[in-house]
A = this chain, B = another copy of it.
Amino acid sequence: MPKLWAETIETHRREVRDAILDTTAALVAQHGLLGVTMSQIAEQARIGRATLYKYFPDVEAILLAWHDRQVAAHLAALSKIRDEGRGAGERLEAVLETYALLSRHAHGHDDVRFAELLHRDDRVGRAQRQVHEMIRDLLAAAAREGEVRKDVPPDELATYCVHALAGAGAHRSRAAIQRLVAVTLAGLRPPG
């Protein structure tokens, strides 16, 4: 069976799915995490309540899916930025600055620790882990070139970067974000 499901119907499902995610994001921003119900989401998204249950089993699943979509988009943007730079240090710096800018726009929501707060979900999201791994690999490469300290494992440095740059979530000017990136990078340099 090459194609059981054709194109347009798949497209429609994806559109509905995205509408659900967008609606949920708006409702969360308005009523808070605990103030969102399946009924609200269905009504706001202009679909039947039973239909909504055919897409997601509960609010938590929607929030996780939304989070995954956000992080996946960030991951794509970061990959592109990474492939533009040439040296390991240059690429690292570009990726970290982009990550900070992305974190700013999603102040507090698509946060690193979003999934941690919901049911202790060990699958913290593939996408989230991929971002961590990308930064970790960049750090390891930069360390080999002597631009990043070697006395701390790349994995721990990646955790440090991701958390430190999440501080950009506080609505700040672009200049402040560049200062934050500079400070974070300073922590990465080999100790003299």
Contact = CB atoms under 8 A, between A and B. Distances in A.
Nearest to A159: B167
Interface residues of A, number: 49
A67 to B, nearest CB: 11
A155 to B, nearest CB: 9
A169 B156 CA distance: 12
| Interface of chain A, main secondary structure | helix
A4 interface: no
A146 interface: no
A65 interface: no
14 contacts: A32-B60, A32-B120, A33-B33, A33-B119, A34-B59, A34-B118, A108-B113, A108-B120, A152-B182, A156-B172, A156-B179, A164-B164, A186-B189, A186-B191
